Amino acid sequence: MAELLYFAAFLSVALGIAHSVLGEKYILARLFRRADLPKLFGSPEFTVRTLRFAWHITTVAWFGFGVLLLYAGRGDLAVSEMLNIIGATFVVSGVLPLVFTRGRHLAWLILFAIGGIALWCAA
């Protein structure tokens, strides 16, 4: 059973990498060349940055699931470990809108709050 969970963890991380790399190359790059992107907050730059963080946040989530699967494969996943993984996943997810939109998209506040609560409760 553990081997299957380890394989699922590997697939989750591989899927995340493929999603980010291939999506950036084949979807986002082509989308961002369009001249008719919506001008949120006065320019298409905010739109581009928001779409980019929203695309890559999926990868962060899949990495977090991969770590949960890895720990589950060990057979001794404690609630505190699970909360640490979830908390770290949300904190890293919060970094994306903070960096990509320079804090203008406020999702980072909620993501940090969720991550902080999970990490606090894990202690």
Q: Using one digit for the tens of pLDDT, what is the confidence trace for 36-87? A: 999 888 889 999 999 999 999 999 999 999 999 999 999 989 999 999 999 9
Measured between its terminal Cα atoms, the distance across the chain in Å is: 29
H-state helical runs in the chain? 2-22, 29-32, 44-74, 79-100, 107-122
Domain that holds residue 94: 2-122
**Given this model, what pLDDT does residue 20 score?**
97
Whether the CB-CB separation of 114 and 90 falls below 8 Å is answered with yes
The number of folded domains in the chain is 1
Q: How far apart are CA 110 and CA 97, in angstroms?
A: 11
User: Could you give the percent of the chain with pLDDT greater than 90?
Assistant: 91
Over residues 75-100, the mean pLDDT reads: 96
- Its pTM stands at 0.91
**Given this model, what pLDDT does residue 9 score?**
97
Whether the CB-CB separation of 64 and 96 falls below 8 Å is answered with no
